[in-house]
Amino acid sequence: MARRHRQPRHGGLPRPSGVLFERAPYRRIRRRHRQPSRPGDTVMTAHRFALPSLCVLAVLLASPAVGQESDYTEEDAMALQSCIEAARDLASDEPDVTPDRCIGIASAACQEAPGGSSTVAIATCNARETAWWDELLNAHYQSLEETLEPDLAETLREAERAWIAFRDADCGFAYEFWAEGTIRTVVATSCQLQHTARRALTLGTYLDTGY
């Protein structure tokens, strides 16, 4: 049966183009050909490990005020992708320049727009950028998982479960710590953004030859 391609979630807007990093030789890694999908087959992604009851961002995005505009824009995608590529190009001459510096740039630009300084607007800007990093994270995760031998792939899945549990607990604590004020939504969405972006970049280093 022919594989059915998933439709883009963002109406044709630029998405993270698979893996942004070149693949390097690995120890204990082999190339495996994926079998055509069959009815009932599922693909393991980082999302499947998520615990909705613990995911602060999911709770926040469920509110109409934030959820309606939480998808990233074309400008968000272009800014983040360009920043990462520029950081990679500079890495050989300036070791201190890493893609980590790109975290938050789309959210910051979003907040500079008219009306972007309110609590709800800042949380929405954070959620928009988080959506882009989340897609990149899953692209890196799936690409890495496909190259690993079964035992190492299972170790990766265990690591991802542990990371998601830590992210949810850490951002949940931040949300509850500031529970007395409206800033809690800003703090929690910023926490989700930082964790998601750094995890995406961390997984990318396993597929990268540049830094």
pLDDT digits (tens, 9 = 90+) for 126-152: 999 999 999 999 999 999 999 899 999
Mean pLDDT across 11-26? 40
The pLDDT score that the predictor gives to residue 49 is: 42
Question: Which residues are 148's β-sheet partners?
Answer: 29
Position 60 scores a pLDDT of: 53
As a whole number of angstroms, the distance between CA 1 and CA 27 comes to 34
Q: Structural domain boundaries of the chain? A: 51-205
First to last CA, the chain: 40
**pLDDT by residue (tens digit) across 183-201?**
999 999 999 999 999 999 9
Identify whether the C-beta of residue 54 lies closer than 8 Å to the C-beta of residue 169: yes
pTM, 2 dp: 0.70
| Residue 111: φ, ψ to 5° | -70, -20
